[in-house]
Amino acid sequence: MSRTPATARLMDGSGLARRLVDETAARAADLTRRTGTQPCLATVLVGEDPASVTYVKMKRARCEKAGIRSRHLELPATTTTAELVAVLADLSGDPDVHGILLQHPVGPGIDERAAFEAIAPEKDVDGVTFSSFATMGFGLPGFVSCTPGGIMRLLDAYDVDPAGKRAVVVGRSAILGKPAGLMLLARNATVTYCHSYTADLSAAVREADILVAAVGRPRFIKGEDIKPGAVVIDAGYNPGNVGDVDFDTAATRASLITPVPGGVGPMTIAVLLSQTVDAAERQLA
Amino acid sequence: MSRTPATARLMDGSGLARRLVDETAARAADLTRRTGTQPCLATVLVGEDPASVTYVKMKRARCEKAGIRSRHLELPATTTTAELVAVLADLSGDPDVHGILLQHPVGPGIDERAAFEAIAPEKDVDGVTFSSFATMGFGLPGFVSCTPGGIMRLLDAYDVDPAGKRAVVVGRSAILGKPAGLMLLARNATVTYCHSYTADLSAAVREADILVAAVGRPRFIKGEDIKPGAVVIDAGYNPGNVGDVDFDTAATRASLITPVPGGVGPMTIAVLLSQTVDAAERQLA
């Protein structure tokens, strides 16, 4: 039996991210020229977790390429919550810093929430504070979590209007699934949240006009559950460059689908950079 | 043709609210005896909207009956956002006030969100701040919006465990539908938000093991759409004592259903009083 060919159009996150970064770099250059001040992102790393070290390094390199200054702080793994809060409060009050990124997870022994809440909302370019969560929830202006923000930009770039559509979000993490659902709701989708307790995941997925997979389990979403014509956003990124959706089968049914890699992934840093320049523009205005 | 008899058990919100208020009054009395300080709720009313005047009066009377002091501030309709923010910031800093209720809507010309955000989260016993919304969203300790908080207490009182069930919330207001969905999600329900843009409301309602109707339109939810055995929570309260659900037909299909009046309604003030004593207990500890 021959394999059914993919019919879905690929959503090119790499290309969209590149355009967003270019646009962001142009805004950063313009702002620097007009004000004499370069936008600055403070990156805070606690401990020496290899993945975190790599992520921060990557983010800083991307900042530099986009004309955004980064100020890097490395704190030992023995840092207390109070010490970390003090560092973040300092950065929040520092007029030379426009955005703050606390690389997380921060490791055991630190109250991550207390640390996040020490970030001033107007510098929360990573969208991790209560305030940012609430503005996402109410559809008010504010910074968004970067990955869901990237997902919404992908939908917009491919003219997918969520209004009135059934959107199903699989996963409910604080920085991905939960805000993604709220942002889709703010854009008038009928939103369903699924997760590990969901009794019949296949039934729920089959309803989705827009599916956001954000569970972090390789090929967890079966391709045959994809509704014909659905838009499939795969925010998973598992070992071996495998997403949360069984891509090969899903691509024979969906109308639009994000590849892994090259779909949602590249959007995250692009949104971080863009929001950093947004923050700088407001603070330097 | 004879009418099918109601089979659903009624969820007695009036009785549950009475027990919660009794329990709250006992806690208030105990706290007053132990600390010499009576719990105090500040109520702030802007303008003279008759419904708002009535609501505040009712809340204050209920406070008094429960042994909670209320401090009432009436501001003219011409109050500016800055003036209201200043009043709320004062109350937030006043050690004699343990909870703050800003009666809303505050009327045009005032930035309601700015006013809410002037309420200290630890005194936000009405659950209206960004911080309270986020703690509800993350399932963290904090004050909840009173009506959804009442809904969760009703579910608990009738041993309805939302985990793994499909919960459908119709309506997405900031103080009712949206937080109700987040609280059900935090209790591990598979949650669907429906609203005015939902394409096929009947289809979505038919999936609900737990239905929360919060639209404010009389008999908007058709009884024949209720899944047999479902738990029906009607948070609507429309002219003529009519809820958002077609009660007569729904009651022949549901396993549990809230009457209107006497279901969700009485729980709202009871939760407000209970949270006021919670706040006082923490602040006087």
Name the residue among A61, A62, A68 with its Cα closest to residue A28.
A68
- Check if B135 contacts A (Cβ < 8 Å): yes
Q: Does the pLDDT value for residue B200 go beyond 50?
A: yes
For domain B36-120, give the CATH number. 3.40.50.10860
Question: Identity (one letter) of the amino acid at A15?
Answer: G
What are the tokens at A250? 């899903």
Domain boundaries, chain A: 35-120, 146-265
Mean pLDDT value of segment A150-166: 98
- For residue A175, give every residue at least 6 positions away whose Cβ sits within 8 Å of its Cβ, in sequence order, or none: A127, A128, A145, A147, A148
pLDDT digits (tens, 9 = 90+) for B81-128: 999 999 999 999 999 999 999 999 998 899 999 999 999 999 999 999
Q: Test B197 with A204 for CB contact under 8 angstroms.
A: no
Q: Test B190 with A185 for CB contact under 8 angstroms.
A: no
- The verdict on whether residue A172 carries a ligand-binding annotation is yes
Instruction: For chain B, state the CA radius of gyration.
Output: 19
Catalytic, B234? Answer no
pLDDT digits (tens, 9 = 90+) for B45-94: 999 999 999 999 999 999 999 999 999 999 999 999 999 999 999 999 99
**Sign of the dihedral through C-alpha A155, A245, B203, B154:** negative
Asked if residues A106 and A59 have their Cβ atoms less than 8 Å apart, the reply is no
User: Does residue A259 sit in helix, strand or coil?
Assistant: coil
DSSP notation for A153-218: HHHHHTT---TTSEEEEE---TTTHHHHHHHHHHTT-EEEEE-TT-S-HHHHHHT-SEEEE-S--T
Q: Does the pLDDT value for residue A15 go beyond 50?
A: yes
Do B36-120 and B146-265 fold alike per CATH?
A: yes
- Check if B19 contacts A (Cβ < 8 Å): no
- For residue A196, give every residue at least 6 positions away whose Cβ sits within 8 Å of its Cβ, in sequence order, or none: none
Is the N-terminal amide bond of A105 cis, ω within 30° of 0? yes
Q: Please list the active-site residues of A.
A: 59, 103, 126
The answer regarding whether domain A35-120 maps to CATH 3.40.50.10860 reads: yes
Q: Test A198 with B134 for CB contact under 8 angstroms.
A: no
B145 to chain A: which residues are within 8 Å by CB? none
Nearest CA in chain A to B207: A204
Nearest CA in chain B to A207: B204
**Sign of the dihedral through C-alpha A177, A178, A182, A185:** positive
Residue B138, sorted as left (phi over 0), alpha (psi -120 to 50) or beta, turns out to be alpha
Predicted local confidence at residue A107, as pLDDT: 86
Q: Test B192 with A191 for CB contact under 8 angstroms.
A: yes
Pairing mode, if any, of strands B9-10 and A40-46? unpaired
Question: Identity (one letter) of the amino acid at B178?
Answer: K
- For residue A219, give every residue at least 6 positions away whose Cβ sits within 8 Å of its Cβ, in sequence order, or none: A242, A243, A244, A245, A246, A247
pLDDT digits (tens, 9 = 90+) for B151-189: 999 999 999 999 999 999 999 999 999 999 999 999 999
| Percent share of chain A, pLDDT over 70 | 98
The answer regarding whether domain A146-265 maps to CATH 3.40.50.720 reads: yes
pLDDT digits (tens, 9 = 90+) for B3-45: 566 789 999 999 999 999 999 999 999 999 999 999 999 999 9
